[in-house]
């Protein structure tokens, strides 16, 4: 379950659109940073233990099920990243 903050979003910059873009970029930056560290750890452990080499990882070709699972995850991830935009669109729609 994804946690969402309650209440009004804080505004840090004068332009709310730039502020929203900054929030999205920072969310992405945090996600990518954590993923990069974890992936680096996994790849190093696999190579040290002789389980997989870097070239095997690079040459991997996913099957249809893996592709579908990745697409589902990607859609959910993009929805989380664009949450602030979606919330604004919902607010505008309700006000119309």
State both tokens at 32.
């990518």
Give me the mean pLDDT over the 5-31 stretch.
79
Task: Quote the radius of gyration of the chain (alpha carbons, Å).
Answer: 19
CA distance 55 to 80: 32
Please check whether residue 71 lies inside any domain of the structure: yes
- The encoded tokens of residue 26 equal 């920072």
Q: Which residues contact 24 (CB under 8 A, 6 or more apart)?
A: 81, 82, 84, 85
Domain containing 21 equals 14-60
Give yes or no: residues 89 and 56 share one domain.
Answer: no
Are 52 and 87 members of one domain? no
Can you tell me the distance from the alpha carbon of 22 to that of 28, in angstroms, rounded to the nearest whole number?
Answer: 10
Better pLDDT: 65 or 12: 65
Answer yes or no: do 56 and 21 share one domain. Answer: yes
pTM for the full model? 0.59
pLDDT of 46-82, one tens digit each? 999 999 999 999 999 999 999 999 999 999 988 887 8
- Asked whether residue 38 falls in the same domain as residue 50, the answer is yes
Neighbours of 57 (CB within 10 A): 13
Mean pLDDT of the chain: 87
* pLDDT for residue 94: 82
Q: Are residue 72 and residue 87 in the same domain, yes or no?
A: yes
What is d(CA 81, CA 91) in angstroms, rounded to the nearest whole number? 18
In a domain, 51, yes or no: yes
């Amino acid at each position: 379950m994804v946690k969402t903050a309650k209440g009004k979003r804080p505004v840090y910059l004068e332009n709310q659109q730039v502020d929203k873009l900054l929030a999205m970029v920072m969310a992405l930056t945090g996600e990518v940073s954590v993923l990069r560290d974890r992936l680096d750890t996994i790849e190093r452990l696999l190579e040290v233990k002789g389980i997989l080499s870097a070239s095997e990882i690079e040459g991997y070709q996913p099957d249809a099920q893996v592709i579908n699972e990745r697409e589902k995850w990607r859609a959910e991830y993009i929805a989380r990243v664009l949450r602030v935009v979606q919330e604004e669109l919902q607010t505008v729609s309700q006000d119309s």
